[in-house]
Amino acid sequence: MSRKKLLMGNWKMNLTIAEANAFCEDVKAASLVRQARQRGIMIGVAPAFIALQSVRKHAHGLIVASQDCHYADHGAYTSNVSIPMLQEIGVDWSIIGHSERRQYEGETSFTCNRKIKALVKQQFHVIYCVGETAKEYDQGLTKDVIREQVVTGLMGLSKDDMQYLVIAYEPVWSIGTGKNASVEIAEDIASFIRSLINELFGKVASQKTLILYGGSVKPNNIHEYMLQPDVDGALVGGASLKSESFKELLENI
């Protein structure tokens, strides 16, 4: 089954509103969205919350995703952002479970599951991040960790819900370290994730679900990842912060 490719930039805690708007204007000037569509590639960015509304306004066809979202519609959850708040500014994509949130904010797969269920109920597209730490990798626990994250994170979802899910495999030991996983590792884990989706939701869902690789993805290595049969795109950090390198990423897919 032929699947589209997805290039998603995760800006993390970078780019002011002015810088984010300038990025969008550069993307427009370079006609990147049109080029991507002609090649069957979806492209988007996940700005900081404060820049979301402005980026959405200046997106020029880019997918715009939040970097997180709370499972409650409202309430006493200081610093959090809700689904209705995102809907009001026209955002219907969200990253959930990024390793930095798991590491620094104590997020668990169970918490991710509550968020994912709330999001898909509102027909949001979710990029759910999974991945093992260096210690878990060294101990040979990668697939055990991935299984727990996938099974728990997607618990209670239906086959129909899976149309809104994208899974991003990001080995924690490769994020921001310059040490990227080999294409063999990326393909092996992407294939394993697809087999888990097959177990949980059936073959059709497993063949339709996009699986991304993330972790020190750069213009000079993205192409080899995209050649792998089960890798459908990339979730990119640092290399997505400048329009020039984002353009190179797209060209090299």
Pinpoint the alpha helices (H) of 12-95.
17-29, 32-38, 49-57, 83-88
Mapped onto helix, strand or coil, the DSSP state of residue 237 is coil
Mapped onto helix, strand or coil, the DSSP state of residue 78 is coil
Q: Which of 100, 107, 132, 170 is catalytic?
A: 170
Q: Which of 98, 100, 125, 187 is catalytic?
A: 98
98 catalytic per annotation: yes
Amino acid symbol at 167 = I
Q: How far is residue 90's CA from residue 97's CA, in Å, rounded to a whole number?
A: 22
125 catalytic per annotation: no
Minimal CA–CA distance to 7: which of 40, 56, 38? 40
φ, ψ of residue 193 to 5 degrees: the values are -60, -40
Q: How far is residue 196's CA from residue 176's CA, in Å, rounded to a whole number?
A: 27
Taking the CB of residue 208, how many other CB atoms lie within 10 A of it? 15
Residues with catalytic roles: 98, 170
